[in-house]
Chains A and B, each alone.
Chain A
Amino acid sequence: MLIKSSKQVSRWRNPKRFPVSRNSGASPASRIEAGVTWPEPEGATRVQHLQVYRYDPDSGRNPRIDTYAIDRDKCGPMLLDALIKIKNEIDPTLTFRRSCREGVCGSCAMNIDGSNWLACIRSLDEINEPATVYPLNNMDVVKDLVGDQTHALAQYTSIKPWLRSKTPAPTRERLQSPEERKRLDGDYECILCFCCTSGCPSHWWNGDRFLGPAVLLQAHRWLVDSRDEATGERLDELEDPFKLYRCHTILNCTRTCPKGLNPGKKIAEVKLMIQQRRS
């Protein structure tokens, strides 16, 4: 089917997964085991089941999948409402990040029905029955749905995401024309939720060296900033078979971005900039 916006959920229910078993290639500590099925709500007419990835570091046990049942008539409209309802009423140990509940902070990014999105802006009407909820892919799990973002943020730090200028600091603001400011559109909206990076197959295989779509989009943001004076150095730092060129334009990033941004396009523009200065 034709997808025109990353908001759209595919109408096709199958295939749900690649032909790979759930634990294939997983290290012993990462293997997922069967979990608990929690009781059904009493007297509910509309029930939504959620299969949620659980991991408790203190239990000494492997991750498992728990199934929760929610009474839709006694729950808010979004997946985040359902998770909060579970934490409040069913199982207070369920752990997840959340803050703004309106899609501007990026805390509640998770893998919902097999693709990454923010739980606070994913309507319960749009998810499968039963729906699956996993932490963002390919991260060390701290607890339940909370992934360790240390590496992703270190990769972000490695591109030096701050203004690097050589002319002495002016006594007032550094001015930009409206046109110069417009070049940051599509970059500055990124909330660093890492939905794209953790949904990128290239980052799954080579995430230690490939910077990933979120960080490369941020790199683009500084390359096109009219006030930044380190464009050449930035391109030098990026031009690497792994840091940048591991991007094979798979475009899972653009498909999944909950802010509707286009990391794939921005990475292509970085590659073109490098080509531009070579010829």
Chain B
Amino acid sequence: MATTRLRPRSPDIQIYRPQLTSVLSILHRITGVLLSVGSVLLVAWLVAVADGGDAYAMADRWLHSWVGMLLLLGWIFALFYHLCNGIRHLAWDLDFGFELGSIYRSGWTVVAVSVILTLLTWTLGLAGGE
């Protein structure tokens, strides 16, 4: 019996199991977008420095607010994660570390190192700040 009805499409992301491979990949992309937003603020900060004391004081106040601090923590993590995972990608581009065991080992290493670097930077920043 011929039907004109469209065939259904089988589900993909709705049912596919999250694995380290795909989760770290989408995290790379999300941190990349976060950093894009952050880089706009880096430029704004530079402009504030050039503009003088008042503009800088305003930017500084905003950065030290509750929201500013939270965003800063997010950006620091995004930066280190994107950096570490970027190095992992560069190694793959040179055809290194493609065995499944290496993929998982380097993946977990990237997560651990970026968390450690984030905490380290945060502690150092707070220790000297205020």
User: Do the two chains touch directly in the complex (Cβ atoms below 8 Å apart)?
Assistant: yes
Residues of A at under 8 Å CB distance from B? 1-6, 10, 15-18, 20-27, 29-32, 53, 55, 57-58, 60, 62-63, 111, 113-115, 132, 134-142, 147-148, 198-199, 201, 204, 248-252, 254-255, 262, 264-265, 268-269, 271-272
A to B contact number (C-beta, < 8 Å): 150
Main secondary structure of the interface of B (DSSP, over half): loop
Pair A2/B25 contact, Cβ less than 8 Å = no
Pair B98/A255 contact, Cβ less than 8 Å = no
Pair A140/B8 contact, Cβ less than 8 Å = yes
Give Cα A29 to B4, complex, Å. Answer: 12
Main secondary structure of the interface of A (DSSP, over half): loop
- What residues of A have a CB within 8 angstroms of the CB of B65 in the complex? none
Q: Is B64 at the interface (CB under 8 A from chain A)?
A: no
- What residues of A have a CB within 8 angstroms of the CB of B25 in the complex? 201, 248-251
Give min CB distance, B98 to chain A, whole Å. Answer: 4
Pair B11/A114 contact, Cβ less than 8 Å = no
Give Cα A132 to B89, complex, Å. Answer: 33
A3 in complex: contacting residue of B94, B98, B100, CB < 8 Å:
B100
Give Cα A114 to B13, complex, Å. Answer: 9
Residues of B at under 8 Å CB distance from A? 1, 3, 5-22, 25-26, 89, 92-95, 98-101, 103-105, 108
Give Cα A132 to B10, complex, Å. Answer: 14
Give Cα A27 to B103, complex, Å. Answer: 35
Pair A137/B11 contact, Cβ less than 8 Å = yes
Pair B8/A265 contact, Cβ less than 8 Å = no
Given known A-B contacts A3-B101, A138-B9, A262-B98, A24 and B17 have beta carbons under 8 A apart: no
Pair B104/A18 contact, Cβ less than 8 Å = no
Give Cα A115 to B101, complex, Å. Answer: 18
Given known A-B contacts A32-B11, A58-B1, A134-B11, A251 and B6 have beta carbons under 8 A apart: no
Pair B12/A17 contact, Cβ less than 8 Å = no
